[in-house]
Amino acid sequence: MIPKRAIGALLTTVLGLVLLFSFKTPDELPVTGATGGSAAVADPPSATADPGASSGAATGASPTPTPATADGGGAGPSTATTTYTDGTATGSVIPTRYGDVQVQITVSNGVITDVTALQLPDRDGRSRQIASAAEPILREEALTAQSASIDLLSGATYTSEAYAESLQSALDQVRT
């Protein structure tokens, strides 16, 4: 028999996630098209958000990483590649108004094979919900881009910006 408290906590979590995404799944979260740009505020997703926007996150298996272009972006006309030294690197701790963000990367054969969030905003329950929903999307963005030039998630702007900044800090350590 499942305790009533556990059922109540589960229902509260599910309801919070439903409200958080306004009936959208994580891979339907709209993104701001501002890779490397900045946004003024990080409000929760609003009814005016572009419902046709997509994060580009993979739905299923992890993407096959490819080396980033010399300009630091994951795509572009340049054919020169940036190679990373194999190993792990931990990015700087980036403070936000909702809590600290820090990532660690793993590089194998010169490409980023994993990005792990060591710290995510946790100032309150809402911050934890947003960060836990945003993290897998940001991770996939980083693995696909093979750089810190990732799309910012609407509703998780502060987390996205800090994630990219910590990621860049880690990449700077393994750049050859």
| pLDDT score of 10 | 58
Q: So what's the pLDDT on residue 9?
A: 61
Distance CA 95, CA 147 (A): 21
In terms of Cβ atoms closer than 10 Å to its own Cβ (0-12, 13-18, 19+), residue 47 is exposed
The amino acid present at 39, given as its one-letter code, is A
Name residues of the chain where pLDDT drops below 70.
1-81
- Taken in order of first residue, the domains within the chain and their CATH numbers are 28-35+52-174 (3.90.1010.20)
pLDDT at residue 55, as a whole number? 39
Write down the H helix ranges in 32-124. none
pLDDT at 38: 36
- What integer pLDDT is reported at residue 31 of this predicted model? 47
Residue-wise pLDDT tens digits, 72-93: 444 433 334 678 999 999 999 9
